[in-house]
Amino acid sequence: MSEKMIHLTIDGVAVEVPPETTVLAAAEQVGITIPTLCYLKGLAPDGSCRFCVVEILGGRKAGLFTACSEHCAEGMEVFTRSEKVVEARKFVLELLLSNHDNNCFSCPQNGACKLQDYCLEYGVMENVFAGRRQDAPVDDTNPYFDYDPKKCIMCRRCQRTCEQITGKNIISLTNRGFATKMGIPYDHLWRSSNCGSCGNCVEVCPVGALASKSNKKNYRAWEVTPTATTCPLCENACAVELLVKGGKVVELRAAGVPGADSLPCGRGHYTYWKTLDAGRVTAPMVKDPSTGVLKETTWEEALAAVAEHLKNNAAVLTSRSTTDEEIACTEQIAGAAGVRHGVFGGYGELLRAAHGADALLIYDADAASGCRSGQNCSYCQIYCDTVDVSALNETNFVAVATPALTELTAVADVVLPMPAFSEKDGTFRGKSLHAALSAPAEDGLAALLKRL
Amino acid sequence: MAKTMDVLLKGAGTFDGTDVAAYKAQGGYQALERVLGMSDQAVLDELLKAELRGRGGAAYPAGRKWSQMYKIPITPKYIVCNADEGEPGTFKDRELLRDMPLKVIEGMTIAGRVLHSARGFIYIRGEYRAIQRVFQKAIDNAVKAGYLGKNICGVEGFDYTITIISGAGAYVCGENSALLNSIEGRAGRPRIKPPHLAEVGLYKKPTLVNNVESYADLTVIYTQGADAFLELGVPGSGGTKLVCLSGNVKNRGVYEVGLGKVTLRELIFDPAFGGGIPDGKELSFYHLGGQSGPIGFPEQLDTVYDHDSLWDAGLSVGSGAVVVADGDVCIVDYCRKVMEFFVHESCGKCTPCRIGTMRVLELLTDLCEGRGRPGDTDRLERAITQISALSACGLGQSANKAIRSCLAHRREDFLAHEQGKCPAGSCAMKGGEGA
Ligand SMILES: Cc1cc2nc3c(=O)[nH]c(=O)nc-3n(C[C@H](O)[C@H](O)[C@H](O)COP(=O)(O)O)c2cc1C
Ligand code: SF4
Ligand code: SF4
Ligand code: SF4
Ligand code: FES
């Protein structure tokens, strides 16, 4: 600690901080919360909402300063809730409310909105300024979320996240003064931008301006139960929460602040957690030799067929996107049967790994989302597996363990049911997965291992 | 008694200001040559002693700004001249840029020398297209004469260049951090400070921003010495100031005055300056320092024109604009027009300015169009007080000043408008036209 420490008081509490600490951070250090709207952990302060003002006496200057950007100085006396501060914050809320579509009933963010929360806290219950309001149509051209400019408070959290965290820089403020607008520049629609639908802008929007389509259609904040888990889709192992309503997952959101705590991608945010209603595998199936169509069968028949073919030149191949425990299970199956084991990412890797095998047991762990091959919806830029797997028809025997029917099960002789991501407990990259829902059927691979 | 001074604009218009030899014949480049013989510290001390306060509007002591900047150990450093001259009623930098470009160049070169910067930028407002060409010619001539470029005045390692950047018509780009964003090619919105520009300025490097007139003043300080400069003005406000008289006044134009040497009454009524109100009308009020400045009334005319005296009277020098209005103007309607300016020029970044100025404009428009309600005057006062306390940059922070003066001195006019009456009988409500 060669740095000279700075001493100040916040609401009468003495605080010691290193130089260049913001008042906001210093207050946090002694457990004093200062309300913020535009501030976002991990990013340089924007200082645009002006809601975080505190009153500063002593030191070099006096007056109202934004806590998120102002640095502590020796001898400062900071007051976070003085009359002046409360009056100023009320004024900011009144202004924001006067330029906001206050139709809270129809707003997806109802109950989880920072503007709503603060208005309640500061007793701003009605619009005191009748006047002009921003007005522009909702842009619903992104497949996963909508943008309603009438609700935007211009905090630029979305813009700064897209620019500084995801590195895409898709959205920005245009125009100036009262006509200032957030959105895709030059009045383009979301569809025609280079947006990768990562959804992190939606995560950070403090109001209902950016909201997922699922949020809009399926749920409100108070109806959902969150389950903390880990997204096993890729190496990043994002800490996420699954929101469940009425026995269904309705949303995945980042745990904490995008970028600072976790940064789910578009596939994680919008498709991976989905469990299809149609096409869910709920019982073992075998291919009817006469019609070539899959039909449900008994566990005994299905497991016996797989066990019979897993020998000699067979292979057990498993998707990389699943728990360590499930991968270990497939390894044990391969070991018990005395055949080779492999791991694959997309279907391209699967085909290479399958090359030369007479019989295959494939665990297609991330099949449940339905956002897979062929659906290439051209502009979401979410990873789409478009590899044609019909070449596997050449293999003598193919068993697929999967939560859902896909083009891969179309080449299968036997199908075993598996839990989807939201139904799994386990470990991935040292982090825990927790089931938000129970699986509709027994775990096919576990049953197979027991049988062997 | 009152007289115009002939220091900064001495000889202006009588010779080709872009011609180095002609400029030197007028005493040009003596300041730079003197600075070359002084230590950095001596140059900084002299500036502090001269009590030069920034001429762009905020009146920050230049000596202090330079000394802070000098201490920052980061390189490279940049020198920027603010020639955006966006404040309505302000047209004094134009005189210097057009008639005395080498004086501004010399001032910027002194800054480059002392602050060890090899790179100067001058941000000239887009409307001054012809002046930009004049200024470029002066730069080219200075390069040819060895006063810009490499090894200036034959001093090994004294390199300095100046580049002209054209503004594009946004008032807010005169705010120094928005100006730097604009030079960098970003949207012209102010930055949040800290970090201060002296540390993290243009391209994230230490940057000095001063006004055109401030740079020109340096040539006076280093030719005549700090004592002489201080004596041109008064303690606290050294030097002369270019004042722009316009509006309902007989002799409009730019006048050079010694700070603290004339009163507002002399400025407006003395034949050597404004010469009074035309057509035998009465003085109603005068707006000082542009739209972002306060408004003065006849009862304040005996205030002396220097930074501290004006400040004590609730007024300020600002950019040096003095816009005079005669008896027929409705003060509430005038405030409405001032607010229209801020609504139009707000960059839209921060809440109080983006939405607040619009709400104030709506309130004033209601008052002017007969839709005033009891209590509107108090509402107006609350709104402008909050907007100025909460806004992120000088634009929003000073949008209140004109209205504040009017509320302090002519509150009864606002109260009358609440009742649907216009004492001047000239606003839209009475005239039946306008907004
Ligand atoms: C909205 C706004 C507009 C400004 N416009 C100008 C301008 O046109 N010219 C200028 O010199 N300073 C202008 N300023 C002041 C500058 O920010 C800055 O204080 C000045 O250039 C510093 O130079 P000085 O210390 O020499 O005055 C403006 C400030 C604000 C907040
Ligand atoms: S979804 Fe991602 S890429 Fe698209 S605008 Fe939002 S943050 Fe940027
Ligand atoms: S869309 Fe949301 S996050 Fe973006 S500026 Fe508007 S309110 Fe802020
Ligand atoms: S005060 Fe006005 S001009 Fe300045 S940053 Fe805020 S919105 Fe922009
Ligand atoms: S949170 Fe500090 S200005 Fe917005």
For the CA of A166, the nearest ligand = 2
Give the CA dihedral A143, A149, A155, A158, nearest 10 degrees.
10
Which of A63, A99, A131 is the closest to B389 by Cβ?
A63
State whether A53 and B390 contact (CB < 8 Å): yes
B281 touches chain A (CB under 8 A): no
Query: What pLDDT is recorded for position A367?
Result: 75
The nearest CA of chain A is from the CA of B398 a distance in Å of: 15
Neighboring chain B residues of A95 at a CB cutoff of 8 Å: 351-352, 355-356, 359
Instruction: Tell which one of B172, B291, B341, B344 to mutate to probe ligand 4, the residue whose CB is within 8 A of the most ligand atoms.
Output: B172
Query: What pLDDT is recorded for position A2?
Result: 52
Parts of chain A with a pLDDT under 70 = 1-2, 59-61, 276-277, 368-386
Query: What pLDDT is recorded for position B59?
Result: 96
State whether B389 and A88 contact (CB < 8 Å): yes
Residue A348's closest CA among A377, A384, A380, A310?
Answer: A384
Distance from CA of residue A432 to its chain's centroid?
16
Query: What pLDDT is recorded for position A386?
Result: 66
Which of A48, A69, A129 is the closest to B359 by Cβ?
A129
β-bridge partners, A244: A225, A249
For Cα atoms B306, B49, B63, give the angle at the middle one, nearest 5 degrees.
85
Task: Give the chain B residue whose CA is nearest to the CA of A177.
Answer: B348
SS (H, E, C) chain B: CCCCCCCCCCCCCCCCCCCHHHHHHCCCCHHHHHHHCCCHHHHHHHHHHHCCECCCCCCCEHHHHHHHHHHCCCCCCEEEEEECCCCCCCCHHHHHHHHCHHHHHHHHHHHHHHCCCCEEEEEECCCCHHHHHHHHHHHHHHHHCCCCECCHHHCCCCCEEEEEEECCCCHHHHCHHHHHHHHCCCCCCCCCCCCCCCCCCHHHCCEEEEEHHHHHHHHHHHHHCHHHHHHHCECCECCEEEEEEEECCCCCEEEEEECCCCEHHHHHHCCCCCCCCHHHCCEEEEEECCCCCCEECHHHCCCECCHHHHHHCCCCCCCCEEEEEECCCCHHHHHHHHHHHHHHHCCCCCHHHHHHHHHHHHHHHHHHCCCCCCCHHHHHHHHHHHHHHHCCCHHHHHCCHHHHHHHHHHHHHHHHHHCCCCCCCCCHHHHCCCC
A285-451 placed in CATH 3.40.50.740: yes
Atom of ligand 3 nearest to the CA of A147: 1
Architecture, CATH, for domain A106-113+129-222: 2-Layer Sandwich (3.30)
In terms of residues, how long is chain A? 452
**Rounded distance from Cα B59 to ligand 1 centre (Å):** 9
Q: Residues A82-112: pLDDT tens digits?
A: 999 999 999 999 999 999 999 999 999 999 9
CB-defined site of ligand 1, < 6 Å: B 54-58, 60, 82, 84-87, 171-172, 174-176, 209-211, 214, 393-395
For the CA of A89, the nearest ligand = 5
Nearest-CA residue for ligand 1 atom 2 is B175
Residue B352's closest CA among A48, A280, A304, A117?
Answer: A48
Which of A63, A92, A173 is the closest to B348 by Cβ?
A173
As given in the structure block, the two tokens for residue B272 are 């050597």
Query: What pLDDT is recorded for position A263?
Result: 86
Which of B192, B344, B386 is the closest to A47 by Cβ?
B192
Task: Give the chain A residue whose CA is nearest to the CA of B383.
Answer: A91
Residue A149 exposure: Cα atoms within 13 Å on the Cβ side: 20
Task: Give the chain A residue whose CA is nearest to the CA of B366.
Answer: A131
As given in the structure block, the two tokens for residue B302 are 């005996």
Distance from CA of residue B414 to its chain's centroid?
29
The nearest CA of chain B is from the CA of A46 a distance in Å of: 7
**Rounded distance from Cα A202 to ligand 3 centre (Å):** 8
B64 touches chain A (CB under 8 A): no
Which of A49, A131, A154 is the closest to B358 by Cβ?
A131
In angstroms, what CA-CA distances link A63 with A79, B2, B423?
Answer: 10, 40, 36
Query: What pLDDT is recorded for position A262?
Result: 82
In angstroms, what CA-CA distances link A441 with A285, A288, A404, A416, B3?
Answer: 12, 22, 12, 10, 99
The nearest CA of chain A is from the CA of B393 a distance in Å of: 10
Parts of chain B with a pLDDT under 70 = 1-2, 428-435
Query: What pLDDT is recorded for position A276?
Result: 66
The nearest CA of chain B is from the CA of A261 a distance in Å of: 25
Residue of B186, B342, B351 for testing the chain A interface, max A β-carbons within 10 Å: B351
Residue A55's closest CA among A39, A27, A74, A77?
Answer: A77
Nearest-CA residue for ligand 3 atom 4 is A158
- Residue A411 near residue A390, CB atoms below 8 Å: yes
**Region for B312 from its dihedrals, namely left if φ exceeds 0, alpha if ψ lies in -120 to 50, beta otherwise:** alpha
Neighboring chain A residues of B356 at a CB cutoff of 8 Å: 91, 95
Query: What pLDDT is recorded for position A235?
Result: 84
Query: What pLDDT is recorded for position B424?
Result: 85
A25 touches chain B (CB under 8 A): no
Atom of ligand 4 nearest to the CA of B190: 5
In chain A, where the domains are located: 6-81, 106-113+129-222, 285-451
B278 cis-preceded (ω within 30 degrees of 0): no
State whether A131 and B383 contact (CB < 8 Å): no
Query: What pLDDT is recorded for position A143?
Result: 86
**Region for A208 from its dihedrals, namely left if φ exceeds 0, alpha if ψ lies in -120 to 50, beta otherwise:** alpha
Nearest-CA residue for ligand 1 atom 23 is B210
Task: Give the chain B residue whose CA is nearest to the CA of A38.
Answer: B350
Q: Other C-beta atoms within 10 Å of A106: how many? A: 10
Instruction: Tell which one of A162, A165, A213, A253 to mutate to probe ligand 2, the residue whose CB is within 8 A of the most ligand atoms.
Output: A162
- Residue B265 near residue B277, CB atoms below 8 Å: no
A60 touches chain B (CB under 8 A): no
Query: What pLDDT is recorded for position A383?
Result: 53
Atom of ligand 3 nearest to the CA of A204: 3
State whether A69 and B344 contact (CB < 8 Å): no
- Sign of torsion, CA B262 B263 B265 B267? positive
Residue whose tokens read 């002939």: B6
**Rounded distance from Cα A207 to ligand 3 centre (Å):** 7
Whether the CB of A168 sits within 6 Å of ligand 2: yes
Distance from CA of residue B120 to its chain's centroid?
20
Task: Specify the long-range contacts of residues B66-72, CB closer than 8 Å, at least 24 apart.
Answer: B66/B111, B66/B114, B66/B115, B66/B208, B68/B198, B69/B115, B69/B198, B69/B206, B69/B208, B70/B40, B70/B44, B70/B114, B70/B115, B72/B198, B72/B199, B72/B206
Nearest-CA residue for ligand 5 atom 3 is A47
State whether B362 and A129 contact (CB < 8 Å): yes
Residue of B349, B378, B388 for testing the chain A interface, max A β-carbons within 10 Å: B349
Neighboring chain A residues of B348 at a CB cutoff of 8 Å: 154, 173, 175-180
Return residues 304-343 of A near B (CB < 8 Å).
none
Query: What pLDDT is recorded for position A379?
Result: 39
**Rounded distance from Cα B86 to ligand 1 centre (Å):** 9
Atom of ligand 4 nearest to the CA of B391: 1
Nearest-CA residue for ligand 1 atom 12 is B56
SS (H, E, C) chain A: CCCCCEEEEECCEEEEECCCCEHHHHHHHCCCCCCCCCCCCCCCCCCCCCCCEEEEECCCCCEEEECCCCECCCCCEEECCCHHHHHHHHHHHHHHHHCCCCCHHHCCCCCCCHHHHHHHHCCCCCCCCCCCCCCCCCECCCCCEEECHHHCCCCCHHHHHHHHHCCCCCCEEECCHHHCEEECHHHCCHHHCCCCCCCHHHHHCCCCCEEEHHHHHHCCHHHCEEEEEECCCCCCCCEEEEEEECCEEEEEEECCCECCCECCCHHHHHCCCCCCCCCECCCCEEECCCCCCEEECCHHHHHHHHHHHCCCCEEEEEECCCCHHHHHHHHHHHHHHCCEEEEECCHHHHHHHHCCCCEEEEECCCCCCCCCCCCCCCCCCCCCCCCCCHHHHHCCEEEEEECECCCCHHHCCEEEECCCHHHCCEEECCEEECCCCCCCCCCHHHHHHHHC
CATH T-level assignment (fold) for domain A6-81: Ubiquitin-like (UB roll) (3.10.20)
Q: Residues A346-384: pLDDT tens digits?
A: 888 899 999 999 999 999 987 766 555 344 444 344 556
In angstroms, what CA-CA distances link B417 with B411, B426, B427?
Answer: 10, 12, 10
Residue whose tokens read 């920034």: B54
Query: What pLDDT is recorded for position B430?
Result: 54
Distance from CA of residue B158 to its chain's centroid?
30
Determine the Cα–Cα distance for residues B263 and B388; give it in Å rounded to an integer: 29
Query: What pLDDT is recorded for position A375?
Result: 46
Residue B82's closest CA among B201, B198, B215?
Answer: B215
- Residue A159 near residue A173, CB atoms below 8 Å: yes
Q: Residues A376-431: pLDDT tens digits?
A: 444 344 556 667 889 999 999 999 999 988 889 999 999 999 999 999 999 999 99
**Rounded distance from Cα A208 to ligand 5 centre (Å):** 18
Distance from CA of residue B409 to its chain's centroid?
25
- Domains of chain B (ranges, CATH numbers): 20-232 (3.40.50.11540), 243-326 (3.10.20.600), 331-418 (1.20.1440.230)
**Rounded distance from Cα A377 to ligand 1 centre (Å):** 51
- Residue A110 near residue A220, CB atoms below 8 Å: yes
β-bridge partners, B322: B245, B288
For the CA of A22, the nearest ligand = 5
The nearest CA of chain B is from the CA of A92 a distance in Å of: 7
In angstroms, what CA-CA distances link A332 with A325, A335, A340, A397, A413?
Answer: 10, 5, 11, 20, 22
